[in-house]
Amino acid sequence: MASAPDDDRGSDRIDWVGIEGSPEFRELAASRRRFLVPATVFFLAFFLVYLVLTAYAQEFMGTEILGMPLAFLLAVAQVLMAWVVTALYLRASDREFEPLERRAAQAAAERFTTRSPR
């Protein structure tokens, strides 16, 4: 059984490998991954399209909409997209990840922490 060094109090031994392999921790990691991978791919694709258009479609990006060039509007959309992704992550964190974190922490405390004799 692998374990990390004693914590600050020196009275508990924690099996970090066991925690990482626990069903609760794996569920938490999978849940976060299901959110982060698509969000990251979408955001990076959105940004890449903006960069490609800026480099190769300068006339198109210069098209004015509401008196502003499309390039400026898409740049603003990048900032707004970052805020939206952040807000969605915070919402998912409160509703989905936090309860899973509590469950994983409780299971870890019960099954993977052993008291060292004093």
pLDDT digits (tens, 9 = 90+) for 65-86: 999 999 999 999 999 999 999 9
Domain membership flag for residue 29? yes
Are 109 and 10 within 8 A, CB to CB? no
Domain membership flag for residue 105? yes
Domain membership flag for residue 6? no
pLDDT digits (tens, 9 = 90+) for 12-60: 688 888 888 999 999 999 999 999 999 999 999 999 999 999 999 999 9
Give alpha helix (H) positions in the chain: 16-21, 23-56, 58-61, 70-92, 98-111
Domain membership flag for residue 1? no
Domain membership flag for residue 2? no
Domain membership flag for residue 118? no
Number of domains in the chain: 1
Domain membership flag for residue 50? yes
For residue 81, give the 3-state DSSP assignment: helix
As a whole number, mean pLDDT of residues 99-106 equals: 93
- The pTM assigned to this predicted structure is 0.73
Domain that residue 45 falls in: 12-113
Domain membership flag for residue 59? yes
